[in-house]
Amino acid sequence: MLPELAPEAAAESPDTEVTDAPAYLSRLNPEQRAAVEYDGDAPLLIIAGAGSGKTNTLAHRVAHLVVNGADPRRILLLTFSRRAASEMGRRVERIVDQALGIQTGAGRAALQWSGTFHAIGARLLREYAETLGLAPTFTISDRGDAADLMHVVRHDLGLSEQTSRFPRKETCLAIYSRVVNTQLPLEVVLKTQFPRYAMWADALKGLFAAYVEAKQKQQVLDYDDLLLYWAQAMTEPALAQDMGARFDHVLVDEYQDTNALQASILLALKPQGRGLTVVGDDAQSIYAFRGATVRNILDFPTQFSPPAEQVTLSQNYRSTQPILGAANAVIGLAAERFTKDLWSLRESAEKPGVVVVNDEAEQARFVVEQVLARREAGLSLTQQAVLFRAADHSAQVEIELARRNIPFVKFGGLKFLESTHVKDVMAVVRWLENPRDRMAGFRTLQLLPGIGPKTAARVLEGLEAATEPLIALEAFEPPPAAAPAWDELVTLARALMAPTSPWPSEFEQVIAWYMPHLERMHDDAAARQADLQQIERIAATYASRERFLTELTLDPPSASSDESGVPSRDEDYLILSTIHSAKGQEWKAVYVLNAVDGCMPSDLATGTTEEIEEERRLLYVAMTRARDHLDIVVPQRFYVHNQVGFGDRHVYASRTRFLPNRVMPNFYSRSWPPAPMPGEGQQAKASLPQVDLASRMRGMWK
């Protein structure tokens, strides 16, 4: 277990009043203020427990730096979502204006360099493109396009015709991504994560080499390349020094969710650690499936000389003390962690519940009845949430909610940029931005009537060989059936490949060109048109085509109007969410489903100690989403899949190993439905004549 190196300020009573604090720091507790005001030579690690005001503390630290003379243009803030960066910007602006007493906008200026690792990486790669041998106009492909390109390369190498099963394009991309982000050898990744494909190690190496060559030929970078190229650039000492010298302060949010590449970039930016601040919670590291490793935050203090200073934020502003006591007991059994026990001033007599039910159907009925009971007690549906390990665990609950006519929203669904019509428009813009982007060109050309895959391939081969793509496009002789549409495409290409009008009028031209094709290809063109109008409005918010393409690829919207279903007419609805999607959220009442071995931990995540520990952290994250009420449900009986319809083969499950007997005093354990009291529910029976069935049975054989 790692020792806790909490600062002296953290040892003060939480009620201690700090009289000499500036007004803008007066609402911080002693631990938060120690983190905000730290000015040592060593890097700073802020261990921020769930609900401890992490975002507020980080925003105050940025603002404090600006107020005390730090150059706003030399502060780099790395977050894990664009929304988080924007929210941080707004908070910093408010704090700086409060400190200075005037509306200066200095806070907004402080975050000129703020965003996700991938967005900042893309920005720096464009600035250093010539030095790195990249085309400044490179395009960024999303996961779908990257998988399609992987499929093309896979097919060209003849790997799709193997007698034994070769991984699908999505699996190939997942393997490639895992190797890149973990920086582990391919053989190790295959052995630990994809053992059924270990026999294809050599073929996959050849596939990935050809995939990289195809991307470079087309001047395309995929999502993982943004980190990989950045990290590789940082291995050159002169480049690393130049990039690192641009920033006096580097601050990283959610450091427990970083992968090996991101950690290497950070250490190369600030090898001595001065000016480096990372914030995170090792107990909430739950994204190993994306390549994240909890080792980054656990090993951070010892990676520098002198070692990193550590501040622990242990006061929780979200949950009641009984809920925190139970969560502390669960995470206290972790094999390795930073020592911290969350505490709260919010007292309550209600312990979190562990509720034992017969099966999943009973579980659904319990949850729904509790939801309704708390709604009648004044707790709206939106203040309650049902959390689960995997998306399919909520099936029975969804059926019961629908039967009871209770509106609910389940996180997930088709992504906005995955809808066909939006992908079409984005492909046109990407291709005309970078004519060597083969996948975007392939999709664009096949929008034209009379042009199929073979003709599209001939066009793209001509563009690759030409020094001026536009001239090659104008010189191409299309099939007679495609001639009218071809002329319109060439006119559009002239306008966008050598733009004479300012952005976003270029995008308006693309939409105008695409509309006839939309009406020709889709019966529901009117519904889809709403999406195109939406993306046109989004385009107008960006200064250039390059920024629009980059940002929309790295941080896409999450819903599509023609696929999202009928909107709920009831303003109040219940939240259903996986635990991964619930991270960072909070509700007054939380119900955790299927707290049994096989579901939590998942039976697919018990192969190593590291996997089991991450599953333990998942339960901890679920528990710390609750403010006032927490119910953990334990179904005892699970019906076996792949049996005759309505068959009764079943197994009995045991309570999750993360809730052993030693932690149960922190919970109120009960079964549901409660057993009837003696005499309860019994009705007086009518007087009936006695029947001697035993003699009748014997008489059958006489």
User: Is 413 buried (19+), middle (13-18) or exposed (0-12) by CB count in 10 A?
Assistant: middle
Distance (Å, whole) CA 631 – CA 592:
6
Q: At what angle do helices 260-269 and 237-245 cross, to 10 degrees?
A: 80
* Torsion angle of C-alpha atoms 397, 401, 403, 404, degrees rounded to 10: 140
User: Is 137 buried (19+), middle (13-18) or exposed (0-12) by CB count in 10 A?
Assistant: middle
* Bond preceding residue 499 cis, omega within 30 of 0: no
Contacts of 192 (CB under 8 A, 6+ apart): 608
In 555-699, DSSP assigns E strands to: 574-578, 587-592, 626-639, 650-652, 668-671
* 240 closest CA partner among 230, 248, 250, 255: 230
Number of residues assigned to the chain: 702
Backbone angles phi, psi at 538, to 5 degrees: -65, -45
- Assign residue 307 a region: left if phi > 0, alpha if psi is -120 to 50, beta otherwise? beta
Q: At what angle do helices 223-233 and 545-554 cross, to 10 degrees?
A: 100
Would you state the structure tokens that stand for residue 332, as one six-digit string?
């206290």
The enclosing H or E element of 101 equals: none
Report the DSSP pairing between strands 626-639 and 650-652.
antiparallel
* 23 closest CA partner among 80, 64, 84: 64
Distance (Å, whole) CA 593 – CA 596:
9
- The residue type found at 404 is R
CA 271 to chain centre: 28
Sequence ranges of the binding site: 48-55
Evaluated on CA atoms 49, 53, 54, 58, the torsion sign reads negative
Query: Is residue 359 within 8 Å of 637, Cβ to Cβ?
Result: yes
Query: Is residue 55 within 8 Å of 92, Cβ to Cβ?
Result: no
Distance (Å, whole) CA 350 – CA 310:
34
Report the DSSP pairing between strands 587-592 and 113-116.
unpaired
Sequence ranges of the binding site for ATP: 48-55
Cα three-residue angle 273-279-280, rounded to 5 degrees? 125
Backbone angles phi, psi at 125, to 5 degrees: -65, -35
Three-state SS letters, 503-519: CCHHHHHHHHHHHHHHH
